[in-house]
Homo-oligomer: A and B are copies of this chain.
């Protein structure tokens, strides 16, 4: 990925067509990669976080909540959008884990980022592995009705493969941890 990289798109104009507390939708007038005029609707969202929290018995803290967008119950790792002005995603991850599960963690390991729905949104999710857990008091937001489920790690991985877990950040983060465990030690 080393070469100089220049956008094949040109943005000619931009206007906000919708905004709420969570998203800003803008429509850009563009010249497309083939040079022809077009428009591009971009959904701007703040960066988000996702946390694989594993306890000493190798159980992972999952949360079960209704997803309004998909009209379904969803089993996920704790995830959430950062707040306006957040620059420290590890801090956002600590806050999100505490809010949804009450948990604190002594050890935090970054697992990289994933870009969600990158044809449409700006969503970048920052993934973390949290260990050394201590219980506390959860404080979900009014938009959340969340149930915490402790699940053996290998079962959570199986859920990601069988489709019991489908949320993209959860699937990516759980399978990243599984893949890292499968790597020979000392590689890289």
Contacts and interface: CB of A to CB of B under 8 A. Distances in A.
A115 interface: yes
Interface residues of A, number: 75
Given A67-B115, A179-B175, A179-B179, A43 B120 contact: yes
B20 A18 contact: no
A5 interface: yes
| Number of copies of chain A assembled together | 2
Contacts of A23: 41, 43, 120
Given A22-B41, A69-B122, A168-B172, 5 more contacts: A33-B144, A36-B142, A115-B167, A116-B168, A171-B172
Interface of A: 1, 5, 7-9, 17-18, 20, 22-23, 25, 27, 30, 32-34, 36, 38-43, 45, 48, 64, 66-75, 79, 81, 112-125, 142-145, 157, 160-164, 166-169, 171-172, 175-176, 178-180, 182, 188
